[in-house]
Amino acid sequence: MEKKNYVVAVDLGSTAVVVGVAAKAEDGTMEIRALVSKPVKGVSAGRIENIEDVSKALGTAFEEAGQQAGIRITSAYAGISGDFVRCARHTDYVYVTDPKNGVSKQDLAALFDRMRNLQAPDGEVIMERIPQNYMLDKGKEVENPIGSFGSKLSSTFNFVLCERTPIQRLEMALKRVGVELIETVPNVLATAESVLTEDEKEEGVAVVDVGGGVTDVVVYYRGVVRYVASIPIGANAINNDIRTMGVPERFVERLKLEYGSALAERVPDGKMIRVKGRSTKDTRDIMMHNLVTAIEARTMDIIDLINEELKISGYGQKLSFGLVLTGGLANLKDVDELFRRCTKLEVRVGHPDVNLTEESCAVADDPSFATVVGLLTRGTTQSQVVLPPSARPTPAPAPTPAPASQPRPAEPVTPREETPKVEPTPVQPAKSKVEETERPIEPIQKPYVPPVVPASELKNEEPEEEEIDDDDIYEEKPKQKGGFWNTLASWAKKFEDPGDDEI
């Protein structure tokens, strides 16, 4: 087989693990060679709770993906998400070396060096450092500081932090199946790269990725990541509500996607669904309107928490392009319309199609694949190599650092061996740890959502009779009148606005 450079990515979620293999095409686009999704147990809200169950699912997914692509997988990029991922801001400054000639590249490099020297609090790691703006002297903001005149250059950076333990557990699980972890990336940042256009990032947009156990939110404005958050609730909360209706777990997801909707008003009151129970003779009738009411109520709970995060970000009113919805819940009927009504923003369902070949777009045409495609995009950009089985694996070359002569506002400048001394006033020494700066980073508290409690059984009108050719789940006229559920109790005590975290 011809030797070819590949990149491998893994998205470990609370309900499924997705492994993708891709390679760069000649025209610079990305070609997906394998895409495998397998159910997984042992993960709760993004945290690995049982490494044996996780390793088993990872091994199966990697083996099948390797067979599809014809390679032996030895290394991979991995995404991570959960309430242990958060963001915090820190502002710092340097004095311009030669104010008469304006800000130089060395001055900007010195500012980035100060930010790189900051350390995370104990038990956390810094995953990303993202400059938000550049200021000169008395609050004058500039887009490109190089060549601008002023005596003091300052900037506010957005730090994306993650607890160390979840990353260590993920690395351990990969090692058990013989795969080396190249880099751990926040899921929400990877997802955005596969579904957003440059215009959306510039004008203001939020990506909402609703997975099984976690909902990720990232806000872009003026081409820069402004806010990142993870909410420890996802589509599993909806599935748990459906299970309380007596639906076996193996039928819940199928029932939700085939017969469910996010808007109860669009479902007739009289339709019934019959679901097989614990045995072949045991069946259970569910009124479709009650099913959809449960789905709508829990989805609105999730949207309420998303609205709170957008409010905390400070950019909720600046999102000209609204929301881009991804994740497994994006496949639910009418979910985009419910988001549109509850957020008062434009909403579209995001399919991973950025920089993919036409054939690959068809393969990955599912919002639940957005994260793994984004991880593959990051990997192909850095040209990580995975060789075929016949070739001996060799470590990938380190990414080529950007030259200091081309600094970009959204990217750190390459560290330099020698940084010129700041004149005339010496630069204040950087703090050794993040918590020793002006304010410590304090985690944003996220409320875990209690299950919905049914109110009572109420009578319903005689249902219409419908026949659907299905052995397990089908609509049928019930033998007796009456539904099982009518309303759901409301919940969601709003948590207090913790304000902006700062370092």
Ordered DSSP codes for 402-447: PPTTS--TTSPPPP-S--PPP-SSPPPPPPSSGGGSSS---PPP-P
pLDDT at 143: 86
In 193-282, the DSSP E strands lie at: 205-210, 215-221, 224-231, 272-276
Report which of residues 391 and 118 the model is more confident about.
118
Q: How far apart are CA 91 and CA 454, in angstroms?
A: 49
Those residues with Cβ within 8 angstroms of residue 98's Cβ, 6 or more apart along the chain or in another chain: 104, 423
Q: Is the pLDDT of residue 5 over 50?
A: yes
Residue range 125-140: average pLDDT?
A: 90
290 vs 146: CA distance, rounded Å: 61
> Helix, strand or coil for residue 218?
strand
pLDDT in tens, 147-166: 999 999 999 999 999 999 99
CA dist list (Å): 209 to 82, 191, 229, 230? 12, 8, 11, 9
Which three-class secondary structure state does DSSP give residue 295?
A: helix
Query: What is the distance between the alpha carbons of residues 133 and 404, in angstroms, rounded to a whole number?
Result: 18
Residue 341 and residue 307 in contact, taking contact as beta carbons nearer than 8 Å: no
- What is the reported pTM? 0.75
Question: Amino acid identity, residue 139?
Answer: G
Q: In this predicted structure, what is the pLDDT of residue 414?
A: 39
Give the Cβ contact number of residue 53 at 10 Å. Answer: 15
Backbone angles phi, psi at 271, to 5 degrees: -85, 145
| pLDDT for the residue 442 | 39
C-beta separation of 314 from 219 below 8 A: no
Q: What are 249's strand-pairing partners? A: none
Going by the DSSP 8-state scheme, the letter that residue 156 receives in this structure is E
Lowest mean pLDDT among 69-73, 105-109, 201-205, 274-278: 274-278
Quick one: average pLDDT of 378-392? 55
- Alpha carbons 415 and 486: distance in angstroms, whole number: 62
Altogether, the residues listed in the chain come to a count of 503
pLDDT for 413 equals: 36
Q: Where residue 401 falls among pLDDT bands split at 50, 70, 90? A: very low
Banded pLDDT at 451 (limits 50, 70, 90): very low
Which DSSP state fits 158?
A: E
Q: What is the mean pLDDT of residues 478-482?
A: 45
Per-residue pLDDT, 280: 67
Whether the predicted pLDDT of 440 surpasses 60: no
CB 141 within 8 A of CB 224: no
268-301 pLDDT, tens per residue?
A: 888 888 887 666 677 888 899 999 999 999 999 9
Q: Helix or strand or coil: residue 50? A: coil
More confident of the two residues 38 and 139: 38
In the three-class reduction of DSSP (H, G, I as helix; E, B as strand; rest coil), residue 265 is classed as: helix
Q: Is the pLDDT of residue 214 over 90?
A: yes
Closest CA to 238 of 293, 283, 188: 293
d(CA 234, CA 335): 14
